[in-house]
Amino acid sequence: MFPLRDTITYHGAKAATFGLLILTALAYFYQFSLGQDAFPFIFNTYGFIPTEFFQNPVGEFYTIITSMFVHGSVAHLLSNLWFLWVFGPAVEGRLGFRRFMFLYLLSGVAAAFLQGFSMPESTIPMVGASGAVSGVLGAYLILFPKARVLTVVPPLIFFFFWLPAPIYLGYWIIIQFAQAFFDIPGVAWWAHIGGFALGLLLVIIMRPKRNYRADPYWECWRDYC
């Protein structure tokens, strides 16, 4: 299930969200400009490699941050940027620029650590912003329990429907746990779980008092008829 938009009426400023979208996209365009042959070097230099980190945590700590801005493919990049675009503005509107950036980056750090502890001897570089974006999803779950998410189910027949945000995000995190439990290769599932958990925890600590409005889903649906 793929999210298209939410029902939050006022998102507020989006400077941090826009900045992260642009910076992450530019980082990939630079990476891509170097050619496919440079990808292995970039992954091994700027990706988070658990075994190398635990052997030299001080010297390799920078890779926790740089790995958030390295992606394996255009599809990998776009999926992360899209989730950030759908869920980030509302969370930033409640937290403000500084607290949103703090949550985003610290969620990415937590994601790398949990993935590293789950596979401490792994020599495979972990790259991508998904751990940090997962922290935004965790925060959204706490901040907007009454919101709904316009969801599409591809690929053969496209079904569009509104799901309550807790159901959509609950489904999403259950899928991450299931994939991690069965050790499905190719994706850092524990990084998603770690980022989501820390984002959820941090937003409880930093939770703002401002109210929000969520449009009735039928009014939002009318815009898409």
Helix/strand/coil for 61: coil
Higher pLDDT among residues 1 and 79, named by residue: 79
Q: Is the pLDDT of residue 116 over 50?
A: yes
User: What confidence tens digit (pLDDT) does each residue in 25-36 have?
Assistant: 999 999 999 998
Higher pLDDT: 75 or 221? It is 75
CATH topology of domain 2-222: Rhomboid-like fold (1.20.1540)
Instruction: Give 176-214 pLDDT, tens digit per residue.
Output: 999 888 878 778 899 999 999 999 999 999 877 555 666
> How, if at all, do strands 2-6 and 159-164 pair?
unpaired
Residue found by looking up tokens 């496209």 in the block = 158
pTM of the entire predicted model: 0.89
Buried b vs exposed e over 161-177: b needs ≥16 C-beta within 10 Å? ebbbbbebbeebbeebe
Domain ranges of the chain: 2-222
Sheet holding 2-6, edge to edge: 2-6, 148-153, 159-164
Pairing of strands 148-153, 2-6: antiparallel
